[in-house]
Amino acid sequence: MRNNRQRSSNLSFAARAAQAPRIATIESLDQEGRGVTHVDGKVIFVEGALPFEEVKFVSHHVKATYELATTVEVIKPSSQRVTPGCVYFGTCGGCAMQHLEFSAQVAAKQRMLEADLWHIGRVRPEKMLPPIQGTPWHYRHKARLRVRYVEKKGGVLVGFNEKGTSYVTHMDSCEVLTQPVSDLIVPLKALIGQLSIKQSVPQIELAVGEDATVLVFRIMEALTDADVALLQTFEYTYGAQVWTQTKGPDTVKPLFSHGDKLHYSLPEYNLQYPFSPIEFTQVNPAINRVMIRRAMQLLQPQAGERIADFFCGLGNFTLPIARSGASVYGVEGAQALVKRAVENAQLNQVSQVEFAESDLFDMTTESLQALGAFDKWLVDPPRDGAMALMKALPDAEDTVATHAPTRIVYVSCNPATLARDAAILTQYKGYRLTAAGVMNMFPHTAHVESIALFEKI
């Protein structure tokens, strides 16, 4: 018992010591945009610190092997430190890197990608592609905003969560949402404050198309006639469509009838994509266009080829590939997106495509073979990656396999799972990582989107 009390006392002393301000030089950034340093052999993640800075920090979360800390003073600032463009940065959890100069953010993401590819996948690209980047502000066309009625804070809050908490940030604008949507935050707070169900509106999901903006109000109670009148006045005044969701995704519907529908376009391929406000589309349409162009350059689709588009969604890549004259087989796990993809192909009069619903996380060698042979693959998985799909490929020594593509273009939103899948491809399946590079789809956040090309050896 005495030894247990002694260990507890020592731990408490260590925790108290860690909470006192300390000084360290930051070595790098981690995958969440925090500074990384080491003190007495322990790794410490320091919020608000940049590489090569000397900072004073205080730890708020102490574990045996690591600590989480917050910068309280920058003693020697980095030459790449800038004044954040948003007054809520540091409190709001929507952004993590506004204090880092924009081009340096992109360079940091490139280093994160390279580090994961090597440390997790033990592979290095033969060529690093130039980063894809665009405007740093007002780029975000989709988001989910939290809503909370807090009487002590003056009423309704609408915005992203505060950093590291479940509280909603007290904010009146957002520098990464499109400007018209940012301008709606204050009117939205006033609107919800007048509703009879103001305590039963937990979130608003927003989607911005080329001709319409939709706000999906998640409502936990029925609207009164007075509520409907208020929402109708809001829609008429600000031009944003009001939709509601009472339960699951199938309950999402417009509250009023509208002429304009949500859609985005790819003019380079003469394509239009209608979509529902809760269907997955890229949040940054400008980067999406450049990303598709790069994917096409890497994939090099040719007329007469049979190409698979795995995790095809609503056909974002499928239809441009088909414009090349190739025959494209799109596979997606969500039935609603498969239906939308078929509709989009019909709308755009793209005939050489076929879509199928399948759980790609349960892919086996046998189920992959049943799809037939493909000349090339485009793979665009969610954050979990595509490990089952990669494992289903024939091993490198299988010289008689006919369904191994000569080229795989892999679009990733998680460098760690890309690296894991790259290890499978390069170490077991007979591919080489020809090229890779980042796409700054989410400026000022630590999200690392990337694209990689694998070629059969």
Residue 284 marked ligand-binding: no
The C-alpha angle 384, 385, 387, rounded to 5 degrees, equals 110
Which residue of the set 69, 338, 413, 425 is catalytic?
413
Residue 312 marked ligand-binding: no
Q: Give backbone dihedrals phi and psi of 430, rounded to 5 degrees, phi first.
A: 80, 35
Alpha carbon distance 327, 354 (integer Å):
8
Active site residue 312: no
Determine contact, residues 118/415, Cβ cutoff 8 Å.
no
User: How many Cβ atoms from other residues are within 10 Å of residue 451's Cβ?
Assistant: 21
Q: Give backbone dihedrals phi and psi of 132, rounded to 5 degrees, phi first.
A: -95, 125
Residue 31 marked ligand-binding: no
Residue 359 marked ligand-binding: yes
Residue 332 marked ligand-binding: yes
Rounded alpha-carbon distances, angstroms, from residue 157 to 108, 147, 227, 367: 33, 6, 18, 49
Q: Which positions make up the binding site for [4Fe-4S] cluster?
A: 86, 92, 95, 174
**Residues of each annotated binding site:** 86, 92, 95, 174, 282, 311, 316, 332, 359, 380
Active site residues: 413
Point out the annotated binding site for S-adenosyl-L-methionine: 282, 311, 316, 332, 359, 380
